[in-house]
Amino acid sequence: MSMLETIRSLTQEIEAQHPTTPQDLEAFRIAYLGRNGKIPALFDEFKKLPPEDKKALGVAINQLKQLAQEHFNALQEALVSQKTDSAAHLDLTRTPHAHPFGGHHPLALLQREIEECFRSIGFSVQQGPELEDDWHVFSALNFPPEHPARDMQDTFFVERDPDVLLRTHTSSVQVRVMEQQKPPIRVICPGRVFRNEDISARSHCQFHQIEGLYVDKGVSFADLQQVLLYFVHRIFGVDTKIRFRPSYFPFTEPSAEMDISCFLCGGKGCNVCKQTGFLEILGCGMVDPNVLASCGIDPNVYSGYAFGMGIERMAMLKYGIKDIRLFFENDLKFLSQFTNE
């Protein structure tokens, strides 16, 4: 093969080369432009040619070298540009090993389930401040001045005279709603509450409540019963039975405690339900007329019902948890049981 044919062959080879990695590009440079590459070897042969042949081939061999160098430069720029684009999308905060997916806290799961239940029958969700005044926590709710809840051994007071405290129930949110809205009112009020209690397996100084309120013309205790029956069937199953026991709350009259049939023993009696076949889950009643009047609602025109439940107690019953402290300890062994809920 003559040198001119070799130059033409190398030109076709170089134009056909498209290395895509830095390693392949370096191999291209070494193969064609390196000290022992094909083009330097061709120049060594060129030096041995007779003078009359050098003039004709000199232009062709220089064009070959220029082509190889320009092709190398273009490929190098393309790789640098590609690397820059990749770096722009690189997440430098990403860890080398994937973290396991977490899940929702069991209290958050149950609260969301309860909220969806009441939303489906027309209730809205209302929030309120955790730091409250005496009016919204006690006075507007018909608590007498001598009520034990007003004592420091039961309530966390931040200031006295005027009293500022950590709310002991989310009924304070109901008061704020009744002060700001006109009937009909249909709300549930979830949130964290605080009480000065010893921390044990069955009690804590902080916990979560969901309270409900419905105020309109002609509201009766029968309406309350049907709403709570629907709620129980949604959360615990359609075979669950309910019963009401007379009770006392300052803000409702009449007042009642509601129990559900024990789903562990089927109502036959066990250690959890103390052989009664029923489990207490919430308190309820008809809103006291004094409470309506305190909030600017005429009790001669409107009536209403209210109910309240502790989310921790509901979760302990629903998930079979025996120690309330587990909800607040951030133990991954405990929380990981709810990742698929």
pLDDT on residue 88: 60
CB 301 within 8 A of CB 295: no
pLDDT in tens, 44-94: 887 777 777 777 777 888 887 888 888 888 888 888 777 665 556 667 777
3-class DSSP state for residue 122? coil
Virtual torsion, Cα 68, 71, 75, 80, nearest 10 deg: 90
Alpha-carbon distance 276 to 325, whole Å?
Answer: 26
Do the beta carbons of residue 309 and residue 209 sit within 8 Å?
A: yes
Query: Vertex 198, ends 193 and 202: CA angle to 5°?
Result: 80
Residues 114/125, Cβ–Cβ less than 8 Å: no
C-alpha to C-alpha distance for 111 and 282, rounded to whole angstroms: 15
Report the pLDDT averaged over residues 119-148: 92
Helix axis angle, 221-236 to 106-119, nearest 10°: 130
Q: Give this prediction's pTM.
A: 0.69
Distance CA 32, CA 309 (A): 82
Task: Select from 227, 207, 190, 233 the least CA-distant residue to 304.
Answer: 227
pLDDT tens-digit map of 86-130: 556 667 777 777 777 777 899 999 999 999 999 999 999 999 999
Rounded CA-CA distance 68/19 in Å is 13
Strand pairing category for 206-216 and 303-310: antiparallel
- Rounded to whole angstroms, the Cα distance separating 119 from 295 reads 24
